[in-house]
Structure 1
């Protein structure tokens, strides 16, 4: 009997698959608020996006940005809590394509896989594309929650 293996999450354009753990962890962040953030990495040899790191609910935005490598691309989601002018507690889930001063090949792989990967994470509310670390500062996050 022949077995055919395929991934329903394969990205036709770049050939990247999305590991189930990525979606499971994202659902836990979205539904249960189990995590403050999740950092995702593309494993080029395995051609898939995996979870690299999760942040506990008590971790800060500084903990999050410190977990992003300065010289490699990453995707990340961050659950940002804030209080509105009407004094309502709210949160927004940000999708962040992290700073990239990395190799051209790596940048191309991340860029070509981004939209497909983002679609796998149902519930993203705001997207940030950062080309350097200043573009994901907390002031930028704060400025985007009302838009």
Structure 2
């Protein structure tokens, strides 16, 4: 299916003189395909286990180091940090993955906690970066056993505290 689609795009681009478009499209497709095998550093797994089991952190922000093709720990949030501290730690123009240990009280007045996985892909991020993060997300998430809720956000309003509370309940 992919080969047929690429052949058709190639034919259309050649016939219309859009060779630069074709080059960019092929580059993005190949880059995304190669990125699906993105490595995950051992530190990512260890810090996530500490967040999950020992509650040493409130959140962890991860970034992809494109130079070495590996997901790395970018920032660690201490247990006393708030959700606002977490959202402030995400860059406005770069993609990131993050996990957040969200504490809440249910309608039955029970104290609970859920671990959120957040795929942050702001509109201002480079297209190449968005493709890389999108194609590597599922592989990375599989390395983090214990994720309970997933959010994808392109704007801070898509991961507001009200949305997080609603998804936790």
Tell me the distance in 2 between the aligned counterparts of 1:71 and 1:13: 20
1:118 corresponds in structure 2 to 141
Assess if the C-alpha contact under 8 Å between 2:35 and 2:132 holds in 1: no
After superposition, the CA RMSD in angstroms is: 1.3
1:4 corresponds in structure 2 to none
Tell me the distance in 2 between the aligned counterparts of 1:13 and 1:55: 27
C-alpha deviation, 1:16, in angstroms: 1.1
1:3 corresponds in structure 2 to none
1:77 corresponds in structure 2 to 99
Assess if the C-alpha contact under 8 Å between 1:99 and 1:133 holds in 2: no
**Uncovered stretches (5+) of structure 1, i.e. residues with no partner:** 1-10
TM-score, normalized by length of structure 1?
0.89
The number of aligned residues is 136
C-alpha deviation, 1:14, in angstroms: 2.6
Q: Which structure's CA Rg is the greater one?
A: 2
Structure 1 runs, 4 residues or longer, greater than 6 Å off: none
**Uncovered stretches (5+) of structure 2, i.e. residues with no partner:** 1-32
TM-score, normalized by length of structure 2?
0.78
**1:70-128 CA distance string (max 9 Å, x none):** 00000000000001111111000000001322111000000000001001000000000
Deviates more, 1:38-47 or 1:99-108: 99-108
Assess if the C-alpha contact under 8 Å between 1:73 and 1:110 holds in 2: yes
